[in-house]
Structures are given as structure tokens and as C-alpha cells.
């Protein structure tokens, strides 16, 4: 009697407290309009009392278990007429196949439910996992959360299901919470509420039933209800103000369902009962005082938080008596049905109450269109689930969640790459991480990994390396796909982390941010990024953030001890360097792009036009295709990788001397109206003294196309002249062509002489010529008084982070990463591998502006993107915009010359397959091609960058299949098609 009075007193006070707080009227869930529908009436009439009880019971199902489990589920459906199935682990195809079979066996269409808080990937393989709710809590644009809800609904419905047990609406204000933590939107009730509503509305707007959980609030627990019954000892005022707040707002917003947790909350029910078995909490509070009319679903009835001390069947009956409409994951259906039936027979539970709940369940099924049930098709299932927009959305959410907690000296994004010597350490990893691989895309970095249980020897080896570098990038990784608030690093590793040279350290933290508080001194790092989880997208995008490929505006959704408070987070502007992303992010269609490009590349490879190649496509500064194809050589097993470097041939012209010329032009040190003789006295009395650079660079200065300089090294019998080439190096023969060919130190004079004495063509019209580019390195050295290679390295390649853009690559790289070119049996008498293919450039010691540069697509693209940006990249101006506009415009169209200054341009009139570009390339576009099978092209109108690297001259330059198939320009046209 005394306890009853206390209960009434508490209930009255609770009612007053909550009623005063409720300013809005609870919104009736949409599905309730069907409770008296013709279809629901017909189903009710067809069901026996026992079958109606069955509708209240939903059981666990798996799509990765054997035939015995399938048989068990089929028998349960047929015998007990259960209302629904809750699916757990498996795969999408098996999931749909089984659900179709189960529906076929059911008297009443089954409700298919899944616990997919962060997407189907939480339960089914080969599907997408969106970021955990804690990461989503950092996002400032709730529209993204809404879009996630819509996409999630689309995917869940595709696998034949109708209800998602989400969102988690718990306010996680206990850092030691073992079960909610990363599953919550955070510790701020308003943020949790806004995001829960956005998530819910997205799903419901796409026709998916939703369930907010875990009522009345599981956020401030230190016990996992899967294993025991947590107790929450807060006052009514505190519960009403904090824990209940998101649920009240979700009810007002019209959520379909509420899941009740297994919690002991004395202030709401002093009996000690789990909330799932509490009439005071479910019937009086949730349904009565809060006015919730939707589906009330219990948390799983096999969890120890409710089963402990409660007998099977009896516990299910108690849950129904407490007010639950649905019992989730009932382990013993027979006992549950028997106990509930007995309660009806004894008058403890009325048939009217059961019928009302069944009608509610059936109404929800009708809202989910189960009254029009059709088997779910398997066709294109995986493609539909893993659609490009969903994949992009996952990356957008991850990017938007990135939270910069420290940015001392604006270290993020990194600038002045030429001043940095960088090492990276992935802590908690045994091999090179995705984080490190993405860092590699931006500049040269030396990588180390440190396992969780690293030995002192391993740690000491890394510590010895630290002084050699002026920047240390740390990735702190997790050992579990779910970011628990734990630190499992060995004591030695923890000590290493806590004693890092923080004054030169930038940390990306891929663990639960709560655990930052368990490692001393991390807050002293020069830069600190909270990435929330250790997935590929988080690692990839955190690395891009460090270099300015993406920005950040995430705000910490929780406090981290005394180090950081909820709401902390700095805004970082991105877009200063490449963003590596998906085509849809740049307004391109991935299906058109990938399928078309792959088809054309496979065509030319199978036709032996090229053994392989690399492609890079960027739009709006976003790299949307970056792929290696085929092999380095025919009949070889060495596949092309993205790190491999190719001989750029004539693309060297616009990649070495031309940027130097433009920079010197900016500085007033190079005059386009002057000519070669103004910078090289040797040419003052030549027939080329009067030609100005504007005409020469536009290829209409009457220069001959090319001179076969190497032939002057030979006697008539084919042997080398004694004064040109020797087998061994010496002071007189220091220029290496091959290991058995060393050129005389003065042979360059013969090249200059040949150029000087070469006759001019009759007409001043467009005729492509490489003669000037043999001279430009010397001209640039005369102007700058610096070594040419050092000049372009220091002023361009080093600053761009383009370490693989280089001359004489065999001096820097292992040959396995240098793609071979022609088998030269005329001049060098061996296959060319590691040195320049062009004989003229080879005679110049591998350093010419005519040819000689090597690169992979990624590093060459940085230079080309700088051009496309009209002179800027990485937050730095390399060349003035006005200069690039001058050099990239058609100079002499009146003379039927389509060229710019150094740059190639589209023909003045498109002539079909014989044109040098795709039909849709704009007149503003510019680029160049290379004899070895290279093409680079930039289109400012579409902000489109295209690089095609190949070694079509292997084994012979006579192979013109690449040209005949028109592969390069056909691929270029595909890019425009993908934009359209």
C-alpha cells in the first residue's frame, strides 16, 4: 500500500513536470490512419486469438546461417503467425531470397525490421556503412543527415525490409558509457534532437518506418544492458529536462515508433523493474503523459538487462502488460504465446487491448505497402544499393564530420611544401595505411608504422628518425571497426605517443574522441583532427584535409575531459589542392565515365596499341578518375601502378621550360618580342636572329621540325666517331647515354651549331618545331644564372609536391617503377628503360625542354591543374593569370594557326577523327601530346583536366594503333559526355 502511494505521488509529480514542459501537441503518426481500413479489418477477421498474439512477436533471423535456421524460421512463421522478422548478419542477395520465401509462407505479410543505425553495412556485407552517429553529431548541415535517412530508406526497402530501429536519440553525457557512446549524436540535447528528427524524417519521407531509441534515455549509463540491468539515479526534473527531451520532440515531429530500453530508473518506477516491463514508464509516461500513439517496441527480449531474474515467456507477458505493442527478438515464442494467452484467459490482459495493438501493427504494415506486397526482385540489387550517389553521400558525411581541434600557426592546410621534410607514423597499424597512401598523393613523405604492441626496439628505431624531419604526421588508429572508448596500446606505445615532439607534430585521431582524454599531451600538438572512426573514408579525407584538398567545419559533439568542450572545432577552407573523390561530386556520371573509359582502354590494350597506361581526370579541381591499366610491357606480369612514371616526350615542352619562361616573363626577364639571339650571343649572326619568341613558341617562325642530332655521331659504316661517343666515361666523355655510351662534353655545341645552320622553311606558316626547346634550358640558365633542373625543381615541382616529375629518373627511382619505351637497335642498341626515349634529349644528357621529363599522372596533373587554375595551386601563385591567358590563347588565327605560346590548342575547325581534340573541347582549351603516347589537356570552360599516359612506342615507334583507334580523343569526348 505504501509503495502504491509513492508510485502515485511520483506519477502525479511526473505528470505535472512533463505536462508543463510539453508545449506542443504530439503529432499522430501517419500510419494510424489505416487502423480501421478495409484491409486491416479483413486481416483481423481472418485471425484466431492465438494468431493475433503472434503479430505482437517478432523473431530474429539471419541470412548467413544454414538450412536448419531457415527451416526453424519457416516453422515459426507457419505455427505462430509471428508479426515480423528482425534481420541480423548476412548478405543482401541471401537476405532478399529468404525474405521472399518467408513472406510466401506467411498468412499475414511479415514486417521486416533491421537494426541499421549506420546503414545496411551494420548488418549485411557488400553494403554501405555511413558514419556512426557521433561523427554525424559533428556535422553542421542537418540536410545531409536528412539525405542519409532518405538513402538509407531506399536501401533497406531494396532488401525487402520495412522498418529501421533508428535513430538513437540517447543524449550521451557519460564518457564511460559502454553501449551508446559512438552510437549517439552527442551530449547536447538540442543537437541530438535536431539530427534525430532530420534522420527520422528522411527515412519516413521515403516510406520507411522508424523507431527512436532507447526510451527513456540510455545515454548516462556505465552498464551495457546486453549483459546487465543499468540503473539511472537522476531526478524527475533532470530526466525531463535532458534524457526525455529528444523523445518528446521526436513524438511532436511524428515519429512512427519508440523503442523502450532495459533500464532501472527509480525516479520513474521505484519498483526496480526494467523500463521494458514498467507500466509506469510505458503506459503512463510514454503513452499517457507524452501522448505517443505510434508503435512501442521493446528492446531485444533476449538481453540480460531484461531476462536476468525473469522467466522465459513470463517476461514477454510482463512486457505486453507494461504497454509494449511489439516484442522484439523473442527467444522462446511458444512460451511467450502461452503466457500472453494465459493473461487474457485470466482477465489480466483484455482481448480488446491485444486487438488494438494488432490493428496498430497491421496499420503500420499497410503504410509500408505490405497490403500490396510483391516479392522483392534480385536484379541489379548490389548496384542499386551501392549506387554512386550513396557512395558520394557517405563521403560527404565523413568530410562534413571532420573536426579540427588544434591548428596552431594555421598549419592546416600545409603550405610551402618545398620547406617541409615530412615523416608519417601510423600508430596501431601493422602495414601502410589508407591515410598514408593518400598523404603520398600530395608530396614526398617517409612512412613508418607502429603496431599496438610494438617492441621497445621498434619504438627506438622510429625515435632515432624523428630529428631528421621538421614535420611529423601521426595517424592514431583503432583495432576495432567500432570506436570504443578504450586505449589498447601497450604502455611503451602510449609513452611514445605522449612524448612526441608536439611542436612539429600534426595528429589525425581515428579513434573515439573520448579516448583523447586518456592520452596525455595530445592537446599540445600543433594540429589535431578528430576523425571519429577508422574507416577508409575517414583516413582518406583526413589526409586530404591536411593538404587542403577538402576543408573542415565539424564541431565536437561531446566534451573531452578538461581538454576540449562540446562545440569546439575550427573552420578550415579547402580546395587549394586536388580533392580525390567520385565523379558525381564534380557533376559527372560515373557509369558513363568508368564504363566508357574502361572499354576504350581495354580495346587499345587488346589491340596491342599500348601495353598499359595511366589516366587521370579532374573536374573543378576534383580528381574523379585516377587509374592504372594493363602492364608495363607486353607478355609481362608487371602491372602498371599509379606510382609508375612514364616518359612524357613532347609534353616536356609545356612542363619544364615553358613554366620557367612564363615566370621569367612575369618578372620582366623574358621578352616575347625578343628572339634567341637576344639571350644567346652565338645566334646573333644566324638566320634565326630576327624571329621573335611569340612566333617561335606558336610554331610559325619557319623553323624546321626536327634535326636528327644523333646521326652526326656515326660514321658511314654505322660505328661511332672517335670524337663523339666512347664505351667508358672520362673527363672528356662525361655525358651518359647508356652504361656503355658516354658522349663528348662538347657535343652540345654541335647540337647548337646544327640548329643555327639549319635552313628556314619558305613560308611563315604553322609548322610544329622542337628546335627552340633544345635551346631553352640554356637560355633560362643565362637569364637566371641557375642550373636549369634546379630552377624548375625549386620554383615549381618541389612547391607543387611533384617529386615524381623529374629528369633522369634512373638516378632517383628503382627501374621497376619506370615504364620502358622503345627497343632502340639503331642508335643505343638496347631497349630503352630508365632514360629518355628521344635521341636528341638523350644527347643533351637527358635534360632538354624538347623531351626528357618523366612523371606519373598524379604529379604531372598538379602542374597542369596550376595552369587550369590560371597560375595558382596549393594557396600559392606560380604564374600570373594574365600571363597564362596570353600563353594559352590562339596567337595567329588569321594565319590559320591554332597554336598558343608553347601550348597546343584545338584546330580552328573540327575535322572529325583527324582533329587533335574531342569535338566538345572548347576553343579555350589547351594542352599537348607526346610521341610516346601521352596527352594532357585542360579546358577552362568546363574546368576539366585530362591526362593520358602510355608507352605506345614499345617495342617500336612504328606501332600507330593508338592513333588509328583514336583512343585518346575518344576518351576525351567521353569526359564531356559524362558531364552532359
Please write the tens of the pLDDT for every residue from 873-894: 999 999 999 999 999 999 999 9
Q: Which pLDDT score, from 0 to 100, does residue 958 have? A: 96
E strands, 93-249, are 111-114, 163-164, 209-215
For the stretch 110-120, what's the b/e string if a residue is b when 16 or more beta carbons lie within 10 angstroms of its beta carbon? bbbbbbbbbbb
Where among 527, 551, 577 does a domain terminate? 577
- Is residue 586, in this structure, part of any structural domain at all? no
pLDDT score for 18:
53
525 and 380, same domain (yes or no): no
- What DSSP assignment string belongs to 835-895? S-S-HHHHHTTT--SSS-EEE-HHHHHHHHHHHHTTSEETTEESS-HHHHHHHTS-S-GGG
CB contact set of 66 (below 8 Å; sequence gap of 6+): none
Over residues 92-133, the pLDDT tens digits come to 999 999 999 999 999 999 999 999 999 999 999 999 999 999
Per-residue model confidence as pLDDT tens digits over 657-716: 999 999 999 999 999 999 999 999 999 989 998 899 999 999 999 999 988 887 887 787
CATH number, domain of 24, equals: 3.20.20.300
Cα–Cα dist 217/219, whole Å = 6
CA–CA separation, 317 vs 319, rounded Å?
Answer: 5
For residues 713 and 861, membership in a common domain is answered with yes
Same domain, 563 and 648: no
Read off the CATH number of the domain in which 707 is found.
3.40.710.10
- Verify whether residue 316 is a known catalytic residue: no
Last residue of a domain, one of 577, 607, 642: 577
Whether 830 maps to a domain, the answer reads yes
Average pLDDT, stretch 181-196?
A: 98
Tell me the average pLDDT of the chain: 95
The pLDDT of residue 588 is above 50: yes
Q: Report the DSSP beta bridge partners of residue 549.
A: none
Active-site choice (226, 234, 817, 823): 226
pLDDT in tens, 490-519: 999 999 999 999 999 999 999 999 999 999
Residues 231 and 374 in one domain: yes
**Residue 114 vs residues 159, 166, 300, 688: alpha-carbon distances, Å:** 10, 9, 12, 79
Q: Confidence class of residue 637 from pLDDT cuts 50, 70 and 90?
A: very high
Q: Do 563 and 640 reside in the same domain of the chain?
A: no
Is the pLDDT score of 24 beyond 60? no
Q: Do the Cβ atoms of 631 and 625 come closer than 8 Å?
A: no
Q: How much is the pLDDT for 980?
A: 78
Q: Is 927 domain-assigned?
A: yes
Do 229 and 194 reside in the same domain of the chain? Answer: yes
Position 187 in a domain: yes
In a domain, 91, yes or no: yes
pLDDT of 17 > 70? The answer is: no
Domain CATH code at residue 559 = 3.40.50.1700
Same domain, 777 and 639: yes
Q: How confident is the model at residue 26 (pLDDT cuts 50, 70, 90)?
A: confident
Indicate the pLDDT class of residue 7, thresholds 50, 70 and 90: very low
**Which residues face 929 on adjacent strands?**
935
How far is C-alpha 842 from the chain's CA centre? 42
Q: Which domain holds residue 773?
A: 595-979
Q: Confirm whether 588 is domain-assigned.
A: no
Same domain, 853 and 966: yes
pLDDT at 10 over 50: no
Q: Could you tell me if 85 and 191 lie in one domain?
A: yes
| Identified catalytic residue from 188, 299, 316, 325 | 299
Of 41-45, 270-274, 432-436, 709-713, give the lowest mean pLDDT range: 709-713
> How many structural domains comprise the chain?
3
585 in a structural domain: no
Residue whose grid cell is 517478432: 58
End residue of a domain, out of 533, 549, 577: 577
Note the pLDDT of residue 21. Answer: 45
- Give me the pLDDT at residue 9, please: 43
The reply to whether 226 belongs to the active site is yes
Whether residues 373 and 422 fall in one domain:
no
> Quick one: 241 and 286 in the same domain?
yes
For 293-334, the pLDDT digits (tens) are: 999 999 999 999 888 888 899 999 999 999 999 999 999 999
Q: Is residue 390 part of a domain?
A: no
Per-residue pLDDT at 19 exceeds 50 = no
912 vs 896: CA distance, rounded Å: 18
CA atoms of 862 and 579, how far apart (whole Å): 11
Residue 806 CA to its chain's centroid (Å): 29
Same domain, yes or no: 380 and 406: no
Residue 972 pLDDT exceeds 50: yes
Amino acid at each position: 500500500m505504501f509503495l502504491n502511494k509513492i508510485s502515485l505521488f511520483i506519477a502525479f509529480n511526473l505528470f505535472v513536470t512533463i505536462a508543463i514542459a510539453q508545449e506542443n501537441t504530439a503529432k499522430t503518426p501517419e500510419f494510424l490512419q489505416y487502423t480501421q481500413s478495409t484491409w486491416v479489418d479483413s486481416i483481423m477477421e481472418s485471425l484466431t486469438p492465438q494468431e493475433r498474439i503472434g503479430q505482437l512477436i517478432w523473431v530474429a533471423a539471419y541470412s548467413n546461417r544454414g538450412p536448419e535456421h531457415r527451416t526453424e524460421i519457416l516453422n515459426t512463421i507457419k505455427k505462430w503467425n509471428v508479426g515480423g522478422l528482425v534481420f541480423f548478419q548476412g548478405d543482401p542477395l541471401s537476405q532478399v531470397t529468404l525474405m521472399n520465401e518467408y513472406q510466401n509462407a506467411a498468412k499475414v505479410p511479415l514486417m521486416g525490421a533491421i537494426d541499421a543505425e549506420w546503414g545496411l553495412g551494420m548488418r549485411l556485407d557488400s553494403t554501405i556503412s555511413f558514419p556512426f552517429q557521433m561523427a554525424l553529431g559533428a556535422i553542421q548541415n542537418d540536410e545531409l543527415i536528412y539525405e542519409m535517412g532518405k538513402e538509407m530508406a531506399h536501401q533497406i526497402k531494396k532488401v525487402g525490409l520495412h522498418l529501421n530501429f533508428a535513430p538513437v536519440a540517447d543524449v550521451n553525457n557519460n564518457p564511460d558509457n559502454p553501449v551508446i557512446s559512438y552510437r549517439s549524436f552527442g551530449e547536447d540535447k538540442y543537437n541530438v534532437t535536431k539530427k534525430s528528427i532530420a534522420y527520422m524524417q528522411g527515412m519516413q519521407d521515403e516510406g520507411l518506418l522508424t523507431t527512436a531509441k532507447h526510451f527513456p534515455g540510455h545515454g548516462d549509463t556505465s552498464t551495457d544492458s546486453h549483459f546487465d540491468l543499468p540503473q539511472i539515479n537522476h531526478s524527475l526534473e533532470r530526466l525531463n529536462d535532458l534524457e526525455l527531451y529528444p523523445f518528446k520532440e521526436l513524438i511532436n515531429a511524428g515519429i512512427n515508433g519508440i523503442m523502450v530500453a532495459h533500464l532501472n530508473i527509480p525516479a520513474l518506477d521505484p519498483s526496480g523493474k526494467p523500463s521494458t516491463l514498467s507500466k509506469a514508464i510505458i503506459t503512463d509516461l510514454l503513452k499517457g503523459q507524452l501522448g505517443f500513439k505510434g508503435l512501442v517496441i521493446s528492446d531485444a527480449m533476449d538481453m540480460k538487462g531484461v531476462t536476468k531474474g525473469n522467466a522465459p515467456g513470463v517476461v514477454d507477458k510482463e512486457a505486453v502488460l507494461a504497454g509494449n505493442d511489439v516484442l522484439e527478438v523473442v527467444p522462446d515464442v511458444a512460451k511467450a504465446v502461452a503466457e500472453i494467452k494465459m493473461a487474457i484467459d485470466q482477465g489480466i490482459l483484455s482481448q480488446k487491448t491485444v486487438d488494438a495493438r494488432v490493428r496498430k501493427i497491421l496499420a503500420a504494415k499497410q503504410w509500408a505497402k505490405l497490403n500490396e506486397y510483391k516479392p522483392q526482385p534480385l536484379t541489379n540489387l548490389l548496384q542499386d544499393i551501392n549506387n554512386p550517389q550513396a557512395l558520394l553521400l557517405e563521403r560527404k558525411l565523413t568530410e562534413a564530420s571532420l573536426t579540427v581541434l588544434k591548428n596552431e600557426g594555421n598549419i592546416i592546410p600545409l603550405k610551402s611544401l618545398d620547406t617541409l621534410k615530412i615523416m608519417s607514423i601510423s600508430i596501431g597499424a601493422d602495414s601502410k595505411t589508407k591515410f598514408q597512401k593518400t598523404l603520398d598523393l600530395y608530396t614526398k613523405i617517409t612512412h613508418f608504422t607502429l603496431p599496438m604492441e610494438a617492441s621497445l626496439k621498434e619504438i627506438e628505431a622510429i625515435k632515432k628518425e624523428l630529428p631528421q624531419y621538421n614535420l611529423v604526421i601521426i595517424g592514431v588508429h583503432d583495432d576495432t571497426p567500432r570506436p570504443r572508448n578504450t586505449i589498447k596500446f601497450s604502455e611503451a606505445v602510449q609513452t611514445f605517443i605522449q612524448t612526441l615532439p608536439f611542436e612539429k607534430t600534426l595528429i589525425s585521431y581515428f579513434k573515439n574522441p573520448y579516448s583523447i582524454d586518456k592520452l596525455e599531451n595530445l592537446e599540445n600538438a600543433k594540429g589535431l583532427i578528430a576523425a571519429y572512426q577508422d574507416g577508409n573514408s575517414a583516413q582518406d579525407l583526413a589526409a586530404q584535409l591536411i593538404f587542403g584538398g577538402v576543408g573542415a567545419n565539424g564541431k565536437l559533439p561531446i566534451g573531452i575531459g578538461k581538454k576540449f568542450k562540446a562545440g569546439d572545432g575550427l573552420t578550415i577552407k579547402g580546395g587549394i589542392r586536388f580533392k580525390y573523390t567520385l565523379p558525381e561530386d564534380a557533376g559527372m556520371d560515373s557509369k558513363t565515365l568508368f564504363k566508357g573509359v574502361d572499354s576504350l582502354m581495354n580495346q587499345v590494350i587488346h589491340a596491342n596499341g599500348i601495353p598499359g597506361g595511366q589516366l587521370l581526370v579532374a573536374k573543378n579541381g576534383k580528381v574523379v578518375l585516377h587509374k592504372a591499366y594493363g602492364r608495363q610491357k607486353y607478355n609481362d606480369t608487371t602491372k602498371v601502378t599509379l606510382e609508375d612514371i612514364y616518359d612524357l616526350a613532347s609534353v616536356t615542352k609545356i612542363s619544364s621550360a615553358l613554366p620557367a619562361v612564363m615566370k621569367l616573363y612575369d618578372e620582366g626577364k623574358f621578352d616575347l618580342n625578343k628572339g634567341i639571339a637576344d639571350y644567346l650571343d652565338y645566334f646573333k649572326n644566324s638566320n634565326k636572329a630576327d624571329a621573335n619568341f611569340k612566333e617561335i613558341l606558336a610554331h610559325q617562325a619557319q623553323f624546321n621540325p626536327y634535326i636528327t642530332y644523333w646521326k652526326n655521331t656515326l660514321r658511314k659504316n654505322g660505328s661511332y666517331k672517335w670524337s663523339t661517343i666512347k664505351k667508358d666515361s672520362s673527363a672528356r666523355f662525361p655525358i651518359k647515354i647508356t652504361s656503355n655510351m658516354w658522349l663528348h662534353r662538347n657535343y652540345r655545341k654541335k647540337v647548337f651549331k646544327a640548329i643555327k645552320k639549319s635552313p628556314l622553311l619558305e613560308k611563315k606558316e604553322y609548322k610544329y618545331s622542337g628546335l627552340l626547346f633544345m635551346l631553352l634550358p640554356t637560355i633560362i640558365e643565362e637569364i637566371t644564372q641557375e642550373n636549369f633542373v634546379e630552377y624548375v625543381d625549386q620554383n615549381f615541382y618541389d612547391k607543387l609536391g611533384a617529386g615524381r616529375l623529374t629528369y633522369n629518373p634512373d638516378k632517383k627511382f628503382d627501374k621497376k617503377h619506370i615504364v620502358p619505351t622503345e627497343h632502340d637497335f639503331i642508335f643505343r642498341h638496347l631497349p630503352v628503360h630508365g632514360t629518355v626515349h628521344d635521341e636528341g634529349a638523350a644527347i643533351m644528357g637527358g635534360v632538354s625542354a624538347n623531351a626528357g621529363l618523366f612523371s606519373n599522372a598524379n604529379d604531372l596533373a598538379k602542374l597542369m591543374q596550376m595552369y587550369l587554375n590560371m597560375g595558382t595551386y596549393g594557396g600559392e601563385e606560380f604564374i600570373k593569370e594574365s600571363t597564362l591567358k596570353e600563353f594559352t590563347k590562339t596567337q595567329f588565327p588569321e594565319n590559320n594557326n591554332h597554336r598558343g605560346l608553347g601550348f597546343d590548342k584545338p584546330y580552328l575547325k573540327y575535322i572529325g577523327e583527324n582533329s587533335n581534340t574531342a569535338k566538345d573541347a572548347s576553343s579555350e582549351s589547351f594542352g599537348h601530346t607526346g610521341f610516346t603516347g601521352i596527352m594532357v589537356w585542360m579546358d577552362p570552360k568546363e574546368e576539366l583536366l585530362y591526362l593520358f599516359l602510355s608507352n605506345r612506342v614499345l617495342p617500336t615507334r612504328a606501332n600507330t594503333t593508338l592513333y588509328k583507334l583514336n583512343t585518346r580523343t575518344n576518351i576525351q569526348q567521353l569526359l564531356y559526355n559524362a558531364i552532359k
